[in-house]
Structure 1
Amino acid sequence: MNKILMIAWILAGISSFVVPPDMEYLNYIDFHTLGLLFCLMAVMAGLSREGVFGQAAGRLITVVKNSRQMELILVFLCFVFSMLITNDVALITFVPFAIQVLEMADMRKRIVPVVVMQTVAANLGSMFTPIGNPQNLYLYSKSGMTLSAFFKLMLPYTLLAAVMLLGMILLRKCVVLGDLQVRESEKVKNPWKIAIYAMIFLLCLLCVSHLLPVWVVMFVTILAVFMIDRGTFKEIDYSLLLTFAGFFIFIGNMGRISMFCNFLKSILNGNEILTAVISSQVISNVPAALLLSGFTDQWSKLIIGTNLGGLGTMIASMASLISYRFLIAAYPEEKRRYTLHFTVVNLGFLLGFLIAMWSVRSW
């Protein structure tokens, strides 16, 4: 994320020479998206510090009888939880847990494929909700569409993703396991903190539904975190917020350059999904969403394109780098194998989606 942050502000700085700073710069920043993203990250960081997600996973994993059941749970934990706690948090929570469980089951050879599937699952599961990933939150806010319209738009793609993940797991060799004793997570010491974070999360949902102004949610979040656990502030990814701000300035400036606007609009016209997918492979899907949103009003296509664009290269979705860092830290010798497996699986899923979309349109 630091490299993307640097790129964002380098581009913002360069564009400011073409379009000198003025009062219009204040209109570039989408404070609604930044404020809501801050609140969601604070809630998820707080819940993680309380061990909520790890404890839930620990209880679920004790029911497994074979490797297939284990992989289904490990992968679909990421798929389902990413819809509510974001793809980043899902991977931060469940990838280290998966590595630990597979080591305890003496199934180290399965760690690479399982972590790859977890990464794909988190990136695809998160596309179902506006709060699943940063680009959804931004584009949903920008589009003004209703929550039900967003769910209706992404439901077919989410169901297809679930079927593809299920099929991939079912095709893998199934091995019977002995009794797997997973170390239980520490019991929650402060259930009242969890209740407060849950309340803030509900406020975030009301804000997503445009029923509550973002400044109210931010005020409650900052006050609550300051009172109950100030350490949570250290867990928030401020670099992501700064990255958004940098790209907001760059996109705002570029939108005032007529030559660039005409060029990008000519490329986007009728090719929004494919353009979003291709650009995501180079600059990742969050910056792609921020950049392209300034030059088209085809929000549905842009949402679909940037979500599918998270598949492919490792930088297509910055969340994918989280899994990579965890895996390489534990098994540095698996770097090449993981990169190859990741690329093949991601390109396979992306190709599958594109073929399915082309088939539906042709029919």
Structure 2
Amino acid sequence: MKQILQFFRREAVLCIAGALAVGSAFAVPPSGAYLDYIDFRVLILLLCLMLTVAGIRQTGAFTALCQGLLRRVHSVRMVGLLLVLLCFFLSMLLTNDVTLVTLVPFTLLLLEGIPRQDADRITIRLLVLETAAANLGSMLTPMGNPQNLYLYNRYGFSMGTFLSAIAPYSVLSLALLAGSCLLFLPVQPIAPPRAQSRIQSPGRLGAYCLLFGVNLLTVLRILNPWILLGVICIALLLLDRSLFRKADYSLLLTFVFFFIFVGNMGNIPALSGALQRLLQGRELLTAVLASQVISNVPAAILLSGLSEDGRALLIGTNLGGLGTLIASMASLITYKLYAATPGSQPKRYMGVFTLCNLAYLAALLLLYAFI
């Protein structure tokens, strides 16, 4: 029983999605039509991106890049600004969760040299800013986070349409993050990284970068996703089979469950019609609010089955990643890593995190009201 409860806490979104899918099957009995619900293109792209980025990360390229850059700055404020900018821009390509998994442990290690009386305050502020940067930077590209990839495919956005919808919010986000670093991080000396990591296998890094390019061609609809899957599988069998264990298969299964639930809801005309009328004209606000409770990835999948206003849902689910700790599941990565450190102050972290996220959310919603 204890193991079941632990699994539910660890995979709460997966369990909820599974329960919704099973519950909806009582109203719409399983059939071959269920296969039509599932967007295999999105699943393939998610899987291949996760595998490719895991390969790049395993070469040590990201850590080597960070350490090389950080040797050029020597104050907490400038180090913090550099790390926040790295989170913002790397998340556009690596996804927000991979960026945080890579940079947060490095940040905690780097800040060990700060005097104890200042360390807690600086660490919490910097980690909160890095988390916001990863969530806000990732919204500018289709591969930056799962809901973007799904909505990009679901509504058939062109890259130009996608960028025109999100770019204003990205520009303001970058300004807010940079200003926050200059305002809230102190001018205080900090020791550079003690050891310099090296790229473990330049040849493999080159191969993984080529595979990332193949992923990008598929995102842009130049290459068939099934060809991508074949190329990635063959390449990893030759390069490193252990990478197949690095993918987040629970996220893929969560997508499948939500596809089934949304598909079944669409086959109950009275229910879907009522929900569509309720949502009409309120897509963005509904997406923001729903993200606070169930996180922005499930919100994107559920609401996309009820509305054809993809632009509003795209903006709403990305802005909705700000707010509560579960609004973007990537935010939990930073919280768990910080909470596991000796002397951490989780309650204080939650307070700073919530205040910062709500302030950014308010600013971005104000921009939406003016555009």
TM over 0.5: yes
| 2:99 aligned partner | 90
Cα gap change, 1:116/1:179 in structure 2, threshold over 3 Å: closer, same or farther?
A: closer
Greater CA drift, 87-96 or 101-110: 101-110
State the match for 1:102 in structure 2. Answer: 111
Query: Residue type of the partner of 1:218?
Result: L
CA distance in 1, matches of 2:155, 2:67: 39
Work out the CA distance in 2 between the residues paired with 1:93 and 1:165. Answer: 19
Shift of 1:189: 2.7
Distance 1:80 1:57 in 2: 13
1:222 to 233, 252, 255: 233
Matched-pair contact (CA < 8 Å) for 1:105–1:180: no
Specify the code of the residue in structure 1 equivalent to 2:91. Answer: S
Alignment of 1:116-265 (within 5 A): 116-177=128-189, 179-185=191-197, 187-265=198-276
Question: Does the 8 A contact of 2:338 with 2:344 survive in 1?
Answer: no
Please give the secondary structure, in 2, of the residue aligned with 1:171: helix
Amino acid at match of 2:179: G
User: 2:60·2:200 contact (CA, 8 Å) conserved in 1?
Assistant: no
Asked whether the 8 Å contact 1:47–1:194 carries over to 2, the reply is yes
Partners of 1:348 and 1:87 lie apart in 2 by: 20
AA at the equivalent of 2:239? I
Q: Deviations over 1:114-171 (max 9, x none)?
A: 1111110000000000000000000001111111221122110100000111111111
Looking at structure 2, the residues matched to 332 and 39 of structure 1 have their Cα atoms a distance apart, in angstroms, of 38
Deviation at 1:258?
Answer: 1.5
Percent identity between matched residues is 45
SS in 2 for 1:32: helix
Residue of structure 2 in register with 1:8 after alignment: 17
The match for 2:81 is: 72
CA distance in 1, matches of 2:48, 2:292: 28
1:59 and 2:68 aligned: yes
Residue by residue, what CA displacement relative to the aligned partner does 1:240-260 show, whole Å, maximum 9, x if unpaired?
101101111111111111122
Tell whether the 8 Å contact from 1:58 to 1:182 is kept in structure 2 after alignment: no
- Residue 328 (structure 1) aligned to one of 327, 339, 345: 339
Give the distance between the partners of 1:104 and 1:334, measured in 2 at CA: 18
Q: 1:233 to 1:36 in 2, by over 3 A?
A: same
What CA deviation, in whole Å up to 9, does each residue of 1:270-323 have, x standing for no partner?
Answer: 111000000001110000000001111111111000000000011100000111
Structure 1 segments, 4+ long, off by >3 Å, are none
Q: Quote the residue 2:7 is aligned against.
A: none
Q: Does 1:353 align with 2:364?
A: yes
After superposition, the CA RMSD in angstroms is 1.3
Distance 2:185 2:227 in 1: 52
Unaligned residue ranges in structure 1 (runs of 5+)? none
* In structure 2, distance between residues paired with 1:335 and 1:173: 20
TM-score norm. by structure 2 comes to: 0.94
Query: Residues 48 and 232 of structure 2 are in contact (CA less than 8 Å); yes or no, is this contact kept in structure 1?
Result: yes
SS in 1 for 2:340: helix
1:251–1:290: 8 Å Cα contact kept in structure 2?
Answer: yes
Is the Cα–Cα contact under 8 Å of residues 84 and 133 in structure 2 kept in the other structure? yes
How far apart, CA to CA, are the structure 2 residues paired with 1:260 and 1:204?
Answer: 38
Match of 1:38 in 2: 47
Q: Which amino acid aligns with 2:249?
A: Y
Question: CA separation in 2, counterparts of 1:190 and 1:96?
Answer: 22
Shift of 1:267: 2.1
Distance 2:191 2:334 in 1: 27
1:27 to 29, 32, 36: 36
**Residues of 2 paired with 1:123 and 1:173: CA distance?**
20
Please name the residue that 2:328 is paired with.
317
Supply the AA of the counterpart residue of 1:164. L
d(CA) in 2 for partners of 1:116, 1:34: 30
Distance 1:173 1:90, change over 3 A: closer
Change (3 A) 1:330 1:144: same
**Structure 1 Cα separation of the partners of residues 341 and 69 of structure 2:** 24
CA distance in 2, matches of 1:149, 1:178: 43
SS at match of 2:124: helix
2:299 matches 1:288? yes
TM-score, L = length of structure 1: 0.96
Say if 2:342 is the partner of 1:342: no
Cα offset, 1:178, TM superposition = 5.4
* 1:184–1:10 CA distance, 2 compared to 1 (3 A): same
Give the Cα–Cα distance (whole angstroms) in 2 for the partners of residues 32 and 332 of structure 1: 45
Other structure's SS at 1:120 match: helix
